[in-house]
Chains A and B, each alone.
Chain A
């Protein structure tokens, strides 16, 4: 018998093998765990591959009392002479047969470790035309198997969008997305632009700089994925404008030294919002995205503001003054919109646009001012990585910036800005939005109620064919809009809480062992689901980031 043999198939009257499931007992000395892939002898000299979904150890003891009695009726000192008859039985999900035989496996069939080629074939990785390294599998017998995504299903056109969920602080979500974006850039960088939103500290504000130390371990990890451990190249940074000359006219929390270097290198600019940008019916509602508007009166106000020439002002002061006039009793033009609605609009507008971000274009070049639209349209054709820092902004302004960027990309792809950039020049655009639950919360309306949710739904439902791809991350999948999640052809599951596993429908079909695994995943590991994989989930490891990350 082969030294690789680890067990034999067991098919019983109550637990038969089926086309989908096989159970096998394993040798006492074998260490196996969920997600391991095994190879099993089958009919006509074929082999079937299966992924372990659960393990249980059983003995012939019919109950705990028998165990108690077998220790001299509960004596802790008793040392039984005999070992009770017991074995560990693994339950595995069938992946693939080398001769496409779908008959259930036979009792007593030999089970052995699958080799690397076998595992790749079993998972469907051998049929991938354009692979994007996505990490590696570490098997219980010490093999490392590189995993790839199929570019056609990760970033279109066959399938697109990725969602990753998991609790914070486990070096999973952002680290994995950054690894994957790097992997995409290294694999097919010439065809892809990337837009990232920095939402935490200055995590993503120096991704073109080398890490402080690149250890052999990290090099080896990247080597396992056939990638080079290099930081991102061709990066530009967009910071929110603030009237702070000593901080390069931004309120970003990036280190001042790094900021200065970036401005000197010409790879940073400060975005701002002028009146004409905001006076767009796609942008203005974004500022009010979290404001309840059950009667839709605010929508009427948005329409009036965006369409009436009276609001076409060059300065924010004049614009606010025009709005304020509508709040006076007895004003003309207020037949459809009550004064109360104008007052509400005015109050919120005044509060939310009083920051430095809402300003006019200055002639001073050292302010590095640039409209979001201009930055995006300029950098996308150059296949750049655009990092937009929204961390200093309050949540409602973060939604504004994210919505503005996404809208701009989407409309550019639709050809709305053909005079500025032709859609074919843009290539594929990947947008990474962390804290997706803020922008596309579960249960929110796709209509006018939440403008940003509508945009994200548009992208996940129609962006695939246009080449606009959303990589979203959030702590809890249960908090994200079902249609956004449903359109993702790739999903990653980081460590999460048992409460979330119970609460979120997406975890309910996980086998129990997978649920236990996802609740205790260590750092640097994820469960992955991808359209091309022959199994629902695989457990993957990925390399540590290799760009500069400031210490917290």
Chain B
């Protein structure tokens, strides 16, 4: 079977092959909440008097409300370059994006929900190529090459690195898939107050969608921007300072942050005994939930519900991917399994690069 670049070339795209390489190095490991604005006041009803609260985990005999776990993942590769209009030179970035949802069964085992798991191969090309041609290329690649590709266009911005833009476009495709899956789960009545979905990472999708379907969804981030400040005036303080003081089982107030066009309540919870941690922020997770009702948007998240979710989250600390993942202290094991499931379902780097 012909390779993708060969088919594109035969279809009239002036593309050049290169030694394909993986792009998933640290440049995209910045805090995904890096664009947060400072939160001036707590966003919780009622407010915590001390700004923090010690919580006990829910007893083992109480069924957990955290039932489903979603992880999105992607792998990107610089697979070639394209010359547009005999002048401009742009990268072609291939990728695999996937979403996996796992369900925790009553016996503690975790199993993937295959109807909500999807993996697709994509190829990001510059938007200098007309949509009509993109459609043609996609059709030819899919009819002649091994595998099925979705061709995406990334918007060229001379002020930014084109590879970054292509990777961001692929990330956006992954977020679309995540939102799509949540909608399907909500439409299937799988989600409720006693059957919540935990999404890996912050709820920052930069998309327009109906957040009502996210009512029973929380985002749990293993890492967060410690320089994010809360409070106003002289009482403004960095989150890193607050969380480093948290003791095991303590959570902070909820803070109001804006994600694209949506109001989000975020709080920090220490899952592990700080005495056992190698640095003050290790073992702290950031939890997010959309403020959906007008009252919530106005007064903040319901403190009782936040406590309840936090108590169940405390129980998630065991078992842990200790030594398998450097973020083990803040990793939720079912999320880790969803991530493992996805990554082991991806085609190997060698195989994928060979397609080009």
A83 touches B110 (CB 8 A): yes
A72 touches B318 (CB 8 A): yes
B183 contacts across to A, CB distance below 8 A: none
A66 touches B323 (CB 8 A): yes
Does B317 have its Cβ within 8 Å of any Cβ on chain A?
Answer: yes
Does B333 have its Cβ within 8 Å of any Cβ on chain A?
Answer: yes
Does A329 have its Cβ within 8 Å of any Cβ on chain B?
Answer: no
Does A80 have its Cβ within 8 Å of any Cβ on chain B?
Answer: yes
Nearest Cβ distance between residue A531 and chain B, in whole angstroms?
44
A60 contacts across to B, CB distance below 8 A: 321, 324, 340
- Asked whether A70 and B323 contact (CB < 8 A) given A82-B108, A85-B340, the answer is no
Task: Find residues 302-356 in chain B having any chain A CB closer than 8 Å to their own CB.
Answer: 315-324, 333-334, 337, 340
For the complex, give the distance between the alpha carbons of A448 and B141 in Å.
Answer: 85
B323 touches A72 (CB 8 A): no
For the complex, give the distance between the alpha carbons of A83 and B109 in Å.
Answer: 5
A129 contacts across to B, CB distance below 8 A: none
Q: Which residue of A lies closest to B316 (CB)?
A: A81
Interface size for B (C-beta < 8 A) is 23
A82 touches B318 (CB 8 A): yes
Does B60 have its Cβ within 8 Å of any Cβ on chain A?
Answer: yes
Does A71 have its Cβ within 8 Å of any Cβ on chain B?
Answer: yes
Q: Which residue of B lies closest to A72 (CB)?
A: B318
Does A336 have its Cβ within 8 Å of any Cβ on chain B?
Answer: no
Task: Find residues 52-81 in chain A having any chain B CB closer than 8 Å to their own CB.
Answer: 60-63, 65-67, 69-73, 78-81
Does A352 have its Cβ within 8 Å of any Cβ on chain B?
Answer: no
Choose among B108, B273, B323, B324 the residue that contacts A80 (Cβ–Cβ < 8 A). B108
Choose among B104, B322, B324, B340 the residue that contacts A82 (Cβ–Cβ < 8 A). B104
Q: Which residue of A lies closest to B108 (CB)?
A: A83
B110 contacts across to A, CB distance below 8 A: 82-83, 85
B108 touches A70 (CB 8 A): no
A65 touches B322 (CB 8 A): yes
- Asked whether A66 and B276 contact (CB < 8 A) given A60-B340, A79-B60, the answer is no
Does B107 have its Cβ within 8 Å of any Cβ on chain A?
Answer: yes
Which among A71, A78, A82, A84 has the highest number of chain B CB atoms within 10 Å? A82
B107 contacts across to A, CB distance below 8 A: 83
Does B64 have its Cβ within 8 Å of any Cβ on chain A?
Answer: yes
- Asked whether A70 and B319 contact (CB < 8 A) given A79-B60, A82-B334, the answer is yes
Total contacts A to B, CB within 8 angstroms?
A: 62
Q: Which residue of B lies closest to A13 (CB)?
A: B348
B321 contacts across to A, CB distance below 8 A: 60, 66
B316 contacts across to A, CB distance below 8 A: 81-82
Nearest Cβ distance between residue B334 and chain A, in whole angstroms?
6
Nearest Cβ distance between residue B49 and chain A, in whole angstroms?
29
A63 touches B323 (CB 8 A): yes
A78 touches B318 (CB 8 A): yes
- Asked whether A84 and B324 contact (CB < 8 A) given A60-B340, A73-B273, A73-B276, the answer is no
Nearest Cβ distance between residue A443 and chain B, in whole angstroms?
52
Choose among A28, A69, A79, A83 the residue that contacts B320 (Cβ–Cβ < 8 A). A69
For the complex, give the distance between the alpha carbons of A72 and B318 in Å.
Answer: 7
Q: Which residue of B lies closest to A80 (CB)?
A: B318
For the complex, give the distance between the alpha carbons of A73 and B315 in Å.
Answer: 14
Nearest Cβ distance between residue B344 and chain A, in whole angstroms?
11
- Asked whether A66 and B322 contact (CB < 8 A) given A73-B273, A82-B104, A82-B333, the answer is yes
Nearest Cβ distance between residue B62 and chain A, in whole angstroms?
11
- Contact residue range for chain A? 20 to 34
B322 touches A70 (CB 8 A): yes
For the complex, give the distance between the alpha carbons of A84 and B109 in Å.
Answer: 8
A81 touches B323 (CB 8 A): no
A63 contacts across to B, CB distance below 8 A: 323
Task: Find residues 100-136 in chain A having any chain B CB closer than 8 Å to their own CB.
Answer: none
Task: Find residues 100-149 in chain B having any chain A CB closer than 8 Å to their own CB.
Answer: 104, 107-110
B104 contacts across to A, CB distance below 8 A: 81-82
B108 contacts across to A, CB distance below 8 A: 80-83
For the complex, give the distance between the alpha carbons of A78 and B60 in Å.
Answer: 9
- Asked whether A85 and B337 contact (CB < 8 A) given A71-B318, A72-B318, A79-B60, the answer is yes
A28 contacts across to B, CB distance below 8 A: 109
Q: Which residue of A lies closest to B58 (CB)?
A: A81
Nearest Cβ distance between residue A187 and chain B, in whole angstroms?
51
Q: Which residue of A lies closest to B320 (CB)?
A: A70
For the complex, give the distance between the alpha carbons of A81 and B65 in Å.
Answer: 12
B323 touches A84 (CB 8 A): no
Q: Which residue of B lies closest to A75 (CB)?
A: B318
A83 contacts across to B, CB distance below 8 A: 107-110, 319
Q: Which residue of A lies closest to B276 (CB)?
A: A73
Q: Which residue of A lies closest to B107 (CB)?
A: A83
Nearest Cβ distance between residue A240 and chain B, in whole angstroms?
68
For the complex, give the distance between the alpha carbons of A61 and B333 in Å.
Answer: 12
For the complex, give the distance between the alpha carbons of A522 and B89 in Å.
Answer: 76
Nearest Cβ distance between residue A89 and chain B, in whole angstroms?
15
A67 contacts across to B, CB distance below 8 A: 319
A62 touches B318 (CB 8 A): no
What would be 17 A-B contacts, judged by CB atoms less than 8 Å apart? A60-B321, A62-B323, A65-B322, A69-B322, A70-B322, A71-B319, A72-B317, A72-B318, A73-B273, A80-B318, A80-B319, A82-B318, A82-B333, A82-B334, A83-B319, A85-B110, A85-B337
Measured CB to CB, the residues of A under 8 A from B are: 28, 60-63, 65-67, 69-73, 78-85
Instruction: Known A-B contacts: A60-B340, A83-B108, A83-B319. Give 17 more (CB < 8 A).
Output: A66-B321, A66-B324, A70-B322, A72-B318, A73-B273, A78-B318, A79-B318, A80-B318, A81-B60, A81-B64, A81-B318, A82-B108, A82-B110, A82-B316, A82-B318, A84-B333, A85-B340
Measured CB to CB, the residues of B under 8 A from A are: 60, 64, 104, 107-110, 273, 276, 315-324, 333-334, 337, 340
Which 6 residue pairs of A and B lie closest in terms of their CB atoms, listed nearest first? A70-B319, A80-B318, A83-B108, A66-B322, A69-B322, A82-B333
